[in-house]
Chains A and B, each alone.
Chain A
Amino acid sequence: DTGVSQNPRHKITKRGQNVTFRCDPISEHNRLYWYRQTLGQGPEFLTYFQNEAQLEKSRLLSDRFSAERPKGSFSTLEIQRTEQGDSAMYLCASSLGPTGQGAGELFFGEGSRLTVL
């Protein structure tokens, strides 16, 4: 399967601990996105990379959150000093650039569910 891959799929942690999620996008996609989804809501944008450059961050992304895409391939999302309000599904998506057939179509992974106790 060459789709977007995320791991771990589920993480249970205690308040105050740090957690890290990894996303492997579709190989030829240069754009990568992180979204957060809470129960009953649509996904909310967190941040966006084009290659290794982080071009936009949402105000939802507090200073406890950091995302990297060091070589323009996989990405990590780290949450430091987790809080119960961080409990959510963290979704990664990737896409090609804005031109050509299927331009801008986002493909999502299965998500990483975080439960903070």
Chain B
Amino acid sequence: KQEVTQIPAALSVPEGENLVLNCSFTDSAIYNLQWFRQDPGKGLTSLLLIQSSQREQTSGRLNASLDKSSGRSTLYIAASQPGDSATYLCAAPLLFGGTSYGKLTFGQGTILTVHP
């Protein structure tokens, strides 16, 4: 059974800081790893998808890395802004016979607050 843990549970930083969110998973037989953002009362917005054969993905100020052997992924946010305030979730589907059903196991998320 896959278990996903995110550290820290909450983070409060001043605007402009670079920050790192951590995600660890117990079963390294993952198909990919996805980072999401969730605003209060809203659905999930996909930020980055890293295939299992990749080591990192970048989108704008966001960079996500994946180390399957150690069961870890990090999300790096550069030059944080108040608009980045949200809950960040990571999730990974397990491999089944070389493919995946896309059944994600989520961590509890990191609540990020960026204050002006």
Contact = CB atoms under 8 A, between A and B. Distances in A.
Is the A/B pair a real complex? yes
Given A110-B42, A113-B41, A104 B106 contact: no
B46 A106 contact: yes
A103 B51 CA distance: 8
B49 A33 contact: no
Interface stretch (A13-21, A42-50, A66-74, A78-86): A42-50
Contacts of A4: 43
Contact of A41 (B43, B102, B108): B108
B104 A106 contact: yes
A25 interface: no
Nearest to B51: A103
Contact of B44 (A41, A45, A108): A108
Interface string A6-45: 1000000000000000000000000101010000111111
A22 B67 CA distance: 38
Contacts of A65: none
Given A42-B89, A42-B91, A108-B36, A48 B45 contact: no
B100 interface: yes
A91 interface: yes
B32 interface: yes
B46 A91 contact: no
A75 to B, nearest CB: 14
Interface of A: 4, 6, 31, 33, 35, 40-45, 48, 55-56, 91, 93, 95, 98, 102-111, 113
Per CB-CB distance, the 5 closest pairs between chain A and chain B, nearest first, are: A42-B106, A108-B44, A98-B99, A110-B43, A108-B43
26 contacts: A4-B43, A31-B102, A33-B102, A42-B4, A42-B89, A42-B106, A43-B91, A43-B106, A45-B103, A91-B43, A93-B44, A98-B31, A98-B100, A103-B32, A104-B93, A105-B32, A106-B34, A106-B104, A108-B36, A108-B43, A108-B45, A108-B46, A109-B43, A110-B42, A110-B43, A111-B43
